Chain A
Amino acid sequence: MTISDALGRVVRSRLFFPLVCLALVLLLNVIVTMSTTGSPGPFFQITLTNGALNGPLITILNRSSELVILAVGMTLVVSCSAGTDISVGAVMALSGAVSIWALGFGQLAQNDYHVKEYVVPYAVGLLVALAVGAVCGAWNGFLVSRLKIQPMVATLILYTGGRGAAKVFADGQIDKVDVANYKWLGNFIQDSQGNNLVPIPTAIFIAAAVVVATALVLRHTALGMNIQSVGINSRASRIVGLKSARIILLAYAFCGVCAAVAGIIATSRIGGIDANNCGKMLELDAILAVALGGNSLAGGKFSLTGSVIGAVTIQALTTVLYSINVSADQLPLYKAIVVVIIVILQSPQLRPLLRRGRDGLKRLLPGDRAAAAA
């Protein structure tokens, strides 16, 4: 095997471009670290202080948890319906609001909108959040699969209405939860003295669990293949006996559950529900993560790993922009510039151009030509 053949195989791999993008953004992080501290070391440094692992890499992984989870759900939705679910940010807020409303049931207003102790068990609160996510997702799926409404229009309903409903459940307030274990899922699991029992942010484990569980289910059942075939040709799939509508409904419901899990993490991070801001604009980052992962937004074949890489790339980009003091309100502009570059890199029209360039290069390299002749 020649070098260029091996190289060609790597380049043609689905994950090549997503990985290159991630590497580029990480490189940017390293350069910025070098320019401020004089060496690239601090970027890779992970230290243990007071029972918490610290370091840029940990921060990026921790902060990308919600996005990774949303991207997993979004990938399946995109694959089977060739459309996007733009309601995930609002569903995060709604599931968080309903969950806290349940946890402080009937006592929120008289306690200054603080949950002093759980009225229903914490586990019930979590299940309520997941149920809200599932119902919202199933509603979206029903509109898309049964009523054949365009995905963006169908999910626009909850995109606008979901946040409003969240404010109704939160009574227009920022509801806080004062019980210590409420903050565990978005921060660290602690003992009763407030010392960390696990030095790694809990959200990383949750994101990993969602990714692994989804991947296992898709691999060990026909579901993954069914989703792709529905996305490639929904009619043909129905003719060969797949229940296309049911598969689409399932994918949206699952996406809703993913949004609820992300909502649980986001509310736990701040120990309360800020219905105005929870998950705000995150739906766009989730769609972007899917696209950055090398998945076509026109549906069909998908790569879960790609979406996960895409999500981490976006968070790494956000982190580097923060650390070079780009103001948060200008962040979208810089993100857009990077996205344009990445999307151009991934364009299928660009690849033949690159290949032509590579062939030209090959002709100039005598060693390779000799190898090819042999």
Chain B
Amino acid sequence: MNLKIKKIALALTGAAMSLSFAACSAGTDSSTDPTRGDDSTVAADDSGYNLVPRDSNGDGLITLGFAQVGAESGWRTANTQSYKDYFVEANGFKLVFLDANQDADKQKQDVRDLIAQGVEVIDLAPVTDSGWEPILQEAKDAGIPLIVSDRQLSVSDDLYLTYFGGNMEEEGKTAVKWLQDYISANNISDPINIVHLQGTIGSTAQKGRTKALDDAAPGNGWNVVYQQTGEFTQAKGQEVMESFLQQGKDFNVIYSENDDMTYGAIDALQAAGKDPKEYIIISFDGNKSAVQMVIDGLIDVIAECDPLLGPQVGALINQAAAGQTIAKVTYSQEGFIDSTNAVEKIKTAFGS
């Protein structure tokens, strides 16, 4: 009962707030940046979204409600841990963490729970990319700013504060560029035959990382000799690699769209009596075990998809709270990890 009253009160104040803000922003210029075309990457001030994170309950901390996808991969669990480590009182935050177990319906309920609890800012890493309009509207009506992370939503950009996450195609381009540089630096004249292990077909990460390779291969004269999905899992990556190996085709590069599939592919190589060090192995994400494998010489390069996003999201919230304009799309800072920086990376990112 109490909760219900609180909810209604919240909704009312939220509605009142958004009304007053709407009045303020009525006169702003709404032209879009022509260089961006029809992209949604426009500045925040013309989107009609004016909520900013602030300490509304006066406890001196900003409460973040984090609606996480689940724990389906090493990347995801590292991502969760980074939020739990960063959003603590010492940094001026409180964290309410809800795990959707990869269930889109549960996640919608999770976000409603966060709204009902009256958190001060919501971070949503959506399980699916559709059907979110009503819930985003509810959050907006309740006056709670919402950050979409990890997976971009195709909704009107006046429903959320900003999108924050990795740029999957850019990661793919990083990997492709590394391969080009590696080939020219080592004067490799043999034909480049690539085994391409794809992620779950249709996912944002798969589409971006696949596009980068598909775009680059013909122009560079690279042959993709095998392209198959390993569904981002180690077991499937291993099985698919095994079935490729028994065809006896020549290859010298493995382009594997996440670390888990790379582990599986390396196991399959070893089981077939082949030495992984004789192949150029390109991986994505940058989990601790994978970085260790770069140090051991098993993996040649990892195009980083940094899972440790907690501090970057925290900085974003602080900026917004301080009244700075936040771009509608913010990409996390990413690079690549190879033999030149792996030792340092494992010290700075994983503390060992």
Q: Chain A: residues with CB nearer than 8 A to chain B? A: 33, 36-37, 42, 49-52, 54-56, 59, 63, 112-113, 167, 172-174, 176, 187-188, 201, 266, 269-272, 274, 276-278, 319, 322-323, 325, 327-329
Q: B260 in the interface, Cβ–Cβ < 8 Å?
A: yes
Task: Name B74's contact: one of A174, A266, A327 (CB within 8 Å).
Answer: A174
CB contact between A327 and one of B201, B238, B272 (< 8 Å): that residue: B201
Binding-face segment, B1-9, B171-179, B242-250, B328-336 = B242-250
Given known A167-B71, A329-B201, contact A270–B238 (CB-CB < 8 A): yes
Binds A, one of B121-129, B184-192, B227-235, B294-302: B227-235
Q: Is the CB of B247 within 8 A of A323?
A: yes
> Is there an interface contact between B243 and A266, defined as CB atoms closer than 8 Å?
no
Residue B182, interface by CB 8 Å: no
Flag if A269 contacts B238 (CB, 8 Å). Answer: yes
Contact (A277, B246) CB under 8 Å given A327-B201, A328-B240? no
Residues of A within 8 A of B236 (CB): 277, 328
28 inter-chain pairs at a CB distance below 8 angstroms, sorted by A residue, are A36-B249, A50-B273, A50-B274, A54-B273, A56-B246, A59-B243, A63-B239, A63-B242, A172-B70, A172-B99, A174-B74, A188-B271, A270-B238, A270-B263, A271-B267, A272-B234, A276-B70, A276-B102, A277-B235, A319-B243, A322-B239, A322-B240, A322-B244, A323-B243, A323-B244, A323-B247, A325-B226, A329-B229
Contacts of A173 in B (CB 8 A): 71, 77
Complex Cα–Cα for A160 and B313 (A): 35
In chain B, positions 118-173 with a C-beta closer than 8 Å to chain A are none
Q: Which residues of B contact A322 (CB under 8 A)?
A: 228, 239-240, 243-244
A39 to B230, CA, bound (A): 29
Question: CA–CA, A108 to B288, complex, Å?
Answer: 16
Is B109 engaged at the interface, CB distance under 8 Å to the other chain? no
Q: Is B319 an interface residue (CB 8 A)?
A: no
Query: In the complex, how many angstroms separate the beta carbon of A371 from the nearest chain B beta carbon?
Result: 46
Q: Is the CB of B231 within 8 A of A329?
A: yes
Which B residues are CB-close (under 8 A) to A113? Answer: 77
B101 in the interface (beta carbon within 8 A): yes
Q: Would you call B14 an interface residue if the criterion is a C-beta within 8 Å of the partner chain's C-beta atoms?
A: no
List B residues 259-289 near A (Cβ within 8 Å).
260, 263-264, 267, 271-274, 288-289
The interface residues of chain B lying within 8 Å CB-to-CB of A36 are 247, 249
A42 to B248, Cβ gap below 8 A? yes
What residues on B are CB-neighbors of A49 within 8 Å?
Answer: 272-274
Determine how close the nearest CB of chain B comes to the CB of A47; give it in whole angstroms: 9
Q: Which residues of A contact B234 (CB under 8 A)?
A: 174, 270, 272, 274
Provide the bound-state CA to CA distance between A276 and B72, in Å.
Answer: 7
Complex-state Cα separation, A114 to B226, whole angstroms? 32
Q: Kindly state whether residue B73 has any CB partner on chain A within 8 Å.
A: yes
Q: How far, in angstroms, from A269 to B268 measured CA to CA in the complex?
A: 10
Q: Which residues of B contact A270 (CB under 8 A)?
A: 234-235, 238, 263-264, 267
- A59 to B241: give the CA distance in the assembly, Å: 11
Q: Chain A nearest CB: distance from B25 CB in Å?
A: 42
- Chain B contacts of A329 at CB under 8 A? 200-201, 229, 231
Cross-chain contact of B227 among A276, A323, A325 (Cβ < 8 A): A325
Instruction: Tell whether, in the assembled complex, residue B228 and residue A54 are in contact, meaning their CB atoms are under 8 Å apart.
Output: no
Partner of A52, one of B229, B243, B271: B271
Cα of A52 to Cα of B236 in the assembled complex, Å: 21
* A55 partner, pick from B72, B244, B246, B274, beta carbons under 8 A: B246
| Chain B residue with Cβ nearest A276 | B72
Contact-residue size bin, chain B (C-beta under 8 Å from the other chain)? 35 or more
The residue in chain B whose Cβ has the minimal distance to the Cβ of A267 is B235
What residues of chain B lie closer than 8 Å to A33, measured between beta carbons?
247
State the CA gap A322–B227 with chains docked (Å).
Answer: 10
Q: Which chain A residues lie closer than 8 Å to B267 at the CB level? A: 187, 269-271
- State how many angstroms separate the Cβ of A46 from the closest Cβ of chain B: 10
Least distance between A75 CB and chain B CB atoms (Å) = 24
Smallest CB separation, A60 vs chain B (Å):
9
Name the one of B70, B72, B246, B273 contacting A59, with C-beta atoms under 8 angstroms.
Answer: B246
Given A52-B273, A174-B77, A328-B230, are A323 and B246 also a contact pair (CB < 8 Å)? Answer: yes
Task: Report Cα–Cα, A252/B83, bound state, in Å.
Answer: 44
Bound Cα distance from A56 to B243, whole angstroms: 8
User: Taking the nearest CB of chain A, how far is it from the CB of B132, in angstroms?
Assistant: 23
- With a cutoff of 8 Å between Cβ atoms, the chain B residues found around residue A167 in the complex are 71, 101
Q: Are B248 and A328 in contact (CB under 8 A)?
A: no
Docked Cα-Cα span, A63 to B243, in Å, equals 10
Closest chain A residue to B72, Cβ basis: A276
- Complex CA distance for A52 and B263, rounded to whole angstroms: 19
Q: Which chain A residues border B102 with CB–CB below 8 Å?
A: 276
Q: Evaluate contact between B288 and A112: CB separation under 8 angstroms.
A: yes
How far, in Å, is A249 (CB) from chain B's closest CB? 32
Residues of A contacting B263 in the complex (Cβ-Cβ under 8 angstroms): 270
Whole-angstrom CA separation of A319 from B72 in the bound complex: 26
Which residue of the partner chain A has the closest CB to B230? A328
Tell which of B226, B228, B248 has the most Cβ of chain A within 10 Å.
B248
Q: How far is the CB of A116 from chain B (nearest CB, A)?
A: 13
Q: Which of B71, B249, B263, B271: most chain A CB closer than 10 A?
A: B271
With A327-B201, A328-B228 given, is the CB distance from A277 to B233 under 8 Å?
yes
Q: Knowing that A276-B233, A319-B243, A328-B229 are A-B contacts, what are 9 other residue pairs whose CB atoms are under 8 Å apart, sorted by A's residue number?
A: A52-B273, A54-B245, A54-B246, A112-B288, A113-B77, A172-B70, A173-B77, A269-B267, A328-B230
Provide the residues of chain B in CB contact with A37, threshold 8 Å: 247-248
B226: chain A residues within 8 A (beta carbon):
325
CB distance from A322 to the nearest CB of B (A): 4
* Bound complex: CA A49 to CA B272 (Å): 7
Chain A residue at minimum C-beta to C-beta distance from B200? A329
Q: What B residues does A55 contact at CB under 8 A?
A: 246
A-B residue pairs, 7 tightest by C-beta: A49-B273, A50-B273, A172-B71, A322-B243, A270-B234, A52-B273, A56-B246
Residues of B within 8 A of A319 (CB): 243, 246
In the bound complex, what is the Cα–Cα distance between A266 and B200 (angstroms)? 20
Instruction: Report chain A residues within 8 Å CB of B227.
Output: 325
Is B235 a contact partner of A176 (Cβ separation < 8 A)?
no
